[in-house]
């Protein structure tokens, strides 16, 4: 298996040339574009790795899965989805205009506006929210060393004007409860959590194993896993989600840090890392690897 | 099995009260709202039916699957998706504004604009296009008696001003090749094809069985089935597709005639019919039945 | 005076280089871009001309003034403005998306959608409508030889897909009464009416003199003139109207045939013709001439 | 003359019933809705008043004229209009979506986004900016007692989330230079400046007299007056500007505090105050008074 993974890395490495490391904050633009790593964690407890599987990178939008799960655990499905939609959108992740135009909640929890909502729904004040996020990630990755990158966090906070505009607009429209700057602070911090491809594969495995945790929760574990899997399938890869579903067929969520999480129900979790991005904000070599992986291991669910 | 299906019909029949038969054309508004029927066709050749499974209704948007498949067979994946996108949208099926605003092709082949494009891509003049559509439906349903409803067709043609606006806009933008009124004529006719729940289940089974046809085609059968399954999962239930995926998890396509097609890869096809619709244009009792069916038969793919 | 006009032509002739003749229909793209003419008609009965003042060109959007006036004469102010708004828009003249998005009538009668509405409101069947338009133009220009250009008309009709989309969308939304293709036919024909700069100056003078006609009318003449003057001030120069008001300050209406009409209440009418257009669709040398004219003759109303 | 004004107040007082005092901040909603006052200041130095002409109210959007004038004085026409457009829009004053959608500067300086830009362009830090604003208002109203209402200012600051969203979005897009919260602070403060109908009439007169000040300025006075007059004509009454131009024809600017400023070049300035608003945010009795005034005194410029 590891040979297969190694082969996929070699085959897709050349794609890095065609992509660009995220440059909207200085901290991200300094990342070495040549990293490429892959990990698979299956339900039998095996972990297969290749390439730069143990390099840390910022989780970015993959954290939207985490805040969605915690929001659901704390509030239940009905309440969460009275505040954010289930619907995929053909708009980019940082879209804003429909919030102004349509007077409706954010389309889904995988775009920034929706993720700011789910973060706001996590129990506790701003410190408690973030503690719960980091503890939850540590728990499901079985990695107690996970922390966040202070430089990335401060960069996001200093330059996140679009997210600030989104949050204030939602405040003005009555969609967002709580103190705007506090919620943004948690949001910027959760995006700067550092993980490896192995950590990401384990988050994917956690969902694939149907969230087997004994938590104080307002949603049952099977349902939690199923919702997350459905939502990343329709919305997980930004405005490329439809094409990705048709060409890869692995429920996945990407982040502009270069990570992609995959999850196949009852089978396995996948973590890919390669920081050069395509124009949608998805890891360009990561997409290539996922496409090949789906074919080689027959993982396409469609 | 048929007992289960019968039970689901009884359990969901009350939902009919909350819906409304499509009224945008007189021919559709005359349909008896109380019909409710269900059929499942599995890969072992069994067909299970219940309720009004043999009542004919107009296929409407379920025909978008047919024109997508024929467009792919005639032109291959790359060409078709250079003319229409893969992306789900949070806009209604008859949305128009983004075509004007964004200067981009229709988002996907499951909204009207996208389906008008796929119809235009089917080989032949207007009569040949429609002949190929009807023959293809007869072939995969194994029902040589399938035809179209002249009254519905003429009604659609006389009142389809929004579709006409969409088509002329795409013509003006250079997205649509061919004679606009000819393409619309085929489009209106394909929407008025009459099918039963059994026919729909068999179309679903055809996709589930990975399109086992020896056709002169520019796409391989496995790929054809996979694309269609992925696209209806993300876009098949109008702007309710995301919520449907999260709550039902059966790749499905609905039509305002009251039909819903479901398909589970390598397993079975489903046809539901009940003409009272919810506000998204989906069969209201049909949605209830699908939700229960997913749970009872463990069909949720997520 | 004619020396001044001659001077303005010489001064602005060089701007022609920076513009382009309208090319959306072949008939318009064949026009000699080097024409440049100017006429002023004052309330004392003098007409001053310079340059190519007697070259015929197609009236295009300047006809929107004519159909607005006839719609007002036939229906009165309240009825007309229950079907079309008074509001300027920052969208281009052939904008469509808001009609879909906002479910409201066209913003104003100087964009295509609004002008299609006013044309539909003119009394009579399609032949009668056009007869009234041409007779009205002949009357107020005192030029019985005015006709339309068959080639331009047929070109517009053959290629006017965007206008067709606009009209069918308004039909679908219930904003447009009557047979769509008939209304479009009148609209295309009115755009292809041929006039000279002198004719245009006389239309401007007619408005400046407060519409001194003894017509069977549902609006009084003073009010008719005042409304038209106000509306062209806020909406007459496409999505450049605001800048034009701030820089020129002459109530004006342009057409993609290269004409610009100006009107100063109780003083004079202006006709300019030069077919090379800027990116807004306004005559590029015409704009320069108007700007200079406002300064030289102290015509800026602001 | 004062008898005429008194008559107009009596005639239009009943309209107050149909309007509502602005309620988006508590400080505004407490205003007595029954106030109605009117002042005219002409170029010969006469001031005519009637009703509640000496009641103070918050200037609100009428301050957009002030910040536009100071921005022009400090930067000249070309620079200011490279940062904000001249174009009227059919969107409400607090529109946001096009800034996201179109990637272009605010449409004009009379909507909130555009006014935030002009405020940012006034020379100085946040205290200096506001000092210049208040001193300029005192100068042109010849009223050294003008100040701002602390309660209104703090209310606006605490609840102005939509304006905050607009400003952060412009910051994210690179349209807005400087510290966002500082600029917003000046903006909120300028909106809470307190004036009377007489003060407003004098601002109108200042423009009518073509800004006769010996200021250190990058724009000549005549041009400054002409631009402001043109822009309020096309954009001054929110998304009712077009209808107002057609029905009243007095270049005017309103504020949600209930004030309306009018200006007739080389003739006079008008100040109206009545705090009950129509659905566009314009004083409902004020609009009635302006309409009658235009007719009685023959002030319609169109």
What's the DSSP call for residue B60?
A: G
ipTM computed for the complex: 0.97
User: Is residue A108 a contact partner of residue A86, using CB atoms and an 8 Å limit?
Assistant: yes
User: Is residue B263 a contact partner of residue B229, using CB atoms and an 8 Å limit?
Assistant: yes
How many of the other CB atoms lie within 10 Å of CB of D43? Answer: 15
List, for residues D279-301, the tens digit of each pLDDT value.
999 999 999 999 999 999 999 99
Residues A180, D162: C-beta atoms closer than 8 Å = no
Residues of A in Cβ contact (< 8 Å) with D167: 165
Is D187 an annotated catalytic residue?
yes
Please give the backbone phi and psi of residue D21, each rounded to the nearest 5 degrees, phi first: -65, 145
Q: Is residue D302 part of a domain?
A: no
Nearest to B25 by CA among B160, B178, B171, B140: B160
Can you list the pairs that A250-253 forms with residues at least 24 positions away whose Cβ atoms lie under 8 Å? A250/A290, A250/A293, A250/A294, A250/A299, A250/A300, A250/A301, A251/A301, A251/B302, A252/A290, A253/A61, A253/A62, A253/A64, A253/A65, A253/A110
Q: Is residue A70 part of a domain?
A: yes
Q: Predicted confidence band at D214 (pLDDT cuts at 50, 70, 90)? A: confident
Provide the CATH number for the domain around residue A204.
Answer: 3.40.710.10
Q: Is residue D301 part of a domain?
A: no
Please give the backbone phi and psi of residue B120, each rounded to the nearest 5 degrees, phi first: -65, -25
Q: What does the pLDDT read at residue D97?
A: 85
Residues pairing with A268 in the sheet: A42, A264
User: Is residue D260 a contact partner of residue D276, using CB atoms and an 8 Å limit?
Assistant: no
Question: pLDDT under 70 in chain A at which residues?
Answer: none
Q: Where are the alpha helices (DSSP H) in B143-283?
A: 150-159, 161-173, 180-191, 197-208, 221-235, 241-247
Q: Which chain A residue's Cα is nearest to D173?
A: A162
Q: Predicted confidence band at D100 (pLDDT cuts at 50, 70, 90)? A: confident
Q: What does the pLDDT read at residue D175?
A: 96
**Secondary structure element (H or E) that encloses residue A33, with its range:** none
Question: pLDDT under 50 in chain C at which residues?
Answer: none
Nearest to D175 by CA among D133, D121, D94: D121
Those residues of chain C whose CB sits closer than 8 Å to some CB in chain B are 95-98, 100-101, 161-162, 164-166, 168-169, 171-172, 180
**C-alpha torsion sign, points B77, B81, B83, B89:** positive
Q: What does the pLDDT read at residue D215?
A: 82
Q: What does the pLDDT read at residue A37?
A: 98
User: Is residue A272 a contact partner of residue A260, using CB atoms and an 8 Å limit?
Assistant: yes
| Closest CA–CA distance from residue C149 to any residue of chain B (Å) | 23
Nearest to A169 among D96, D98, D171 (CB): D96
**C-alpha torsion sign, points D164, D165, D171, D175:** negative
Nearest to C47 by CA among C196, C244, C226: C196
What's the DSSP call for residue B122?
A: S
Give the start-end residues of each E strand in chain A: 20-21, 37-42, 47-51, 57-58, 194-195, 252-254, 259-264, 268-273, 276-277
> What is the pTM assigned to this prediction?
0.95
The answer, yes or no, to whether residue D103 has pLDDT greater than 80, is no
Q: What is the mean pLDDT of chain D?
A: 96
Q: Which two tokens stand for residue A280?
A: 């949608």
Q: Is residue C302 part of a domain?
A: no
Q: What does the pLDDT read at residue A143?
A: 98
Can you list the pairs that A216-219 forms with residues at least 24 positions away whose Cβ atoms lie under 8 Å? A216/A73, A217/A72, A217/A73, A218/A72, A218/A73, A218/A74, A218/A75, A218/A76, A218/A79, A219/A72, A219/A73, A219/A76, A219/A77
How many of the other CB atoms lie within 10 Å of CB of D60? Answer: 23
Q: What does the pLDDT read at residue D274?
A: 98
Q: Is residue B8 part of a domain?
A: yes
User: Is residue B255 a contact partner of residue B275, using CB atoms and an 8 Å limit?
Assistant: no
Q: What does the pLDDT read at residue B208?
A: 98
Among B238, B241, B254, B291, which one carries the catalytic annotation?
Answer: B238
- Mutant choice from B111, B222, B302 vs A, greatest count of A C-beta within 10 A: B302
Q: What does the pLDDT read at residue B145?
A: 97
Q: Where are the alpha helices (DSSP H) in B88-149?
A: 97-101, 112-121, 126-141
Among A256, A274, A287, A291, which one carries the catalytic annotation?
Answer: A256
Chains that touch D (3 or more CB pairs under 8 A): A, C
Q: Which chain B residue's Cα is nearest to C171?
A: B161
Q: Is residue B302 part of a domain?
A: no
Q: What's the CA gap between B133 and B186, in Å, rounded?
A: 9
User: Is residue C163 a contact partner of residue C147, using CB atoms and an 8 Å limit?
Assistant: no
CA A137 to chain centroid, in Å, comes to: 12
Crossing angle (nearest 10°) for helices A112-121 and A161-173: 60
By residue count, chain B amounts to 302
Q: What's the CA gap between C9 and C21, in Å, rounded?
A: 18
CA B163 to chain centroid, in Å, comes to: 17
Q: Predicted confidence band at D74 (pLDDT cuts at 50, 70, 90)? A: very high
Is A291 an annotated catalytic residue?
no
Mean pLDDT of successive 10-residue segments in chain B (302 residues)? 95 97 87 97 98 97 98 98 96 85 89 98 98 98 98 95 97 96 98 98 98 92 98 97 98 98 98 97 98 98 98
Q: Predicted confidence band at D167 (pLDDT cuts at 50, 70, 90)? A: very high
What's the DSSP call for residue D196?
A: -
Q: What's the CA gap between A151 and A27, in Å, rounded?
A: 6
Residue with tokens 């098949």: B236
Q: What's the CA gap between C85 and D90, in Å, rounded?
A: 10
Residue with tokens 């030889």: C145
Q: What does the pLDDT read at residue C92?
A: 86
Angle ∠(B101,D96,D174) on CA atoms, nearest 5: 90
Is D238 an annotated catalytic residue?
yes
Q: How many domains does chain B have?
A: 1
User: Is residue A272 a contact partner of residue A283, using CB atoms and an 8 Å limit?
Assistant: yes
Nearest to A226 by CA among A86, A124, A115: A86
Residues of D in Cβ contact (< 8 Å) with C246: 86, 226-227, 230-231
Residues A168, D172: C-beta atoms closer than 8 Å = no
Q: Is residue C301 part of a domain?
A: no
List, for residues B159-188, the tens digit of each pLDDT value.
999 999 999 999 999 999 999 999 999 999
Q: What does the pLDDT read at residue D87?
A: 96
Residues of C in Cβ contact (< 8 Å) with B100: 95-97, 100
| Closest CA–CA distance from residue A173 to any residue of chain D (Å) | 8
Among A187, A198, A228, A253, which one carries the catalytic annotation?
Answer: A187
Which range marks the domain in which residue B210 is found? 2-296
The DSSP bridge pattern shows strands D268-273 and D37-42 to be antiparallel
Those residues of chain B whose CB sits closer than 8 Å to some CB in chain C are 95-98, 100-101, 161-162, 164-169, 171-172, 180
> Quick check: helix, strand or coil at residue D224?
helix
Residues pairing with D260 in the sheet: D254, D272
Q: What percent of chain D has pLDDT over 70?
A: 100
Q: What's the CA gap between A196 and A56, in Å, rounded?
A: 5
Q: What percent of chain D has pLDDT over 90?
A: 91
**Residues in contact with C29: Cβ distance below 8 Å, sequence separation at least 6, in sequence order:** C21, C22, C23
Q: Is residue A155 part of a domain?
A: yes
User: Is residue B297 a contact partner of residue B269, using CB atoms and an 8 Å limit?
Assistant: no
Nearest to B93 by CA among B75, B71, B115, B77: B115
How many of the other CB atoms lie within 10 Å of CB of D82? Answer: 10
What integer is the mean pLDDT of D97-119? 92
Is D63 an annotated catalytic residue?
no
What's the DSSP call for residue A18?
A: G
What's the DSSP call for residue A239?
A: G
Residues A234, B239: C-beta atoms closer than 8 Å = no
User: Is residue B163 a contact partner of residue B112, using CB atoms and an 8 Å limit?
Assistant: yes
Q: What does the pLDDT read at residue C23?
A: 86
Q: What's the CA gap between C302 and C244, in Å, rounded?
A: 12
List, for residues D200-211, the tens digit of each pLDDT value.
999 999 999 999
CA atoms within 13 A on the CB side of C279: 0
């Amino acid at each position: 298996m590891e040979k297969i993974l190694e082969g996929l890395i070699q085959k897709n490495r050349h794609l890095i040339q065609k992509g660009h490391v995220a440059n909207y904050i200085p901290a991200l633009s300094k990342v070495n574009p040549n990293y490429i790593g892959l990990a698979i964690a299956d339900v039998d407890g095996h972990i297969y790795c290749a390439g730069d599987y143990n390099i840390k990178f910022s989780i970015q939008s993959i954290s939207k899965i985490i805040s969605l799960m915690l929001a659901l655990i704390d509030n239940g499905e009905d309440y969460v989805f009275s505040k954010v939609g289930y619907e995929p959108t053909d708009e980019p992740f940082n879209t804003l205009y429909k919030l102004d135009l349509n007077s409706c909640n954010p389309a889904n929890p995988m775009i920034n506006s929706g993720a700011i909502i789910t973060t706001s729904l996590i129990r506790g004040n701003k410190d408690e929210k973030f503690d719960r996020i980091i503890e939850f990630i540590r728990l499901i990755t079985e990695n107690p060393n996970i922390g966040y990158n202070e430089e990335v966090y401060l960069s996001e906070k200093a330059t996140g004007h679009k997210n600030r505009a989104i949050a204030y607009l939602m405040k003005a429209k009555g969609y967002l409860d709580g103190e705007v700057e506090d919620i943004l602070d948690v949001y910027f911090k959760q995006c700067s959590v550092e993980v490896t491809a192995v950590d990401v594969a384990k988050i994917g495995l956690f969902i694939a194993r149907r969230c087997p945790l004994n938590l104080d929760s307002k949603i049952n574990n099977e349902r939690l896993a199923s919702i997350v899997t459905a939502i990343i399938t329709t919305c997980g890869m930004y405005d490329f989600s439809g094409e990705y579903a048709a060409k890869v067929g692995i429920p996945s969520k990407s982040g502009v840090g270069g990570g992609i999480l995959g999850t196949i129900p009852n089978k396995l979790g996948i973590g890919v890392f390669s920081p050069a991005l395509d124009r949608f904000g998805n890891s360009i070599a990561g997409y290539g690897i996922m496409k090949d992986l789906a074919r080689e291991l027959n993982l396409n669910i469609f």
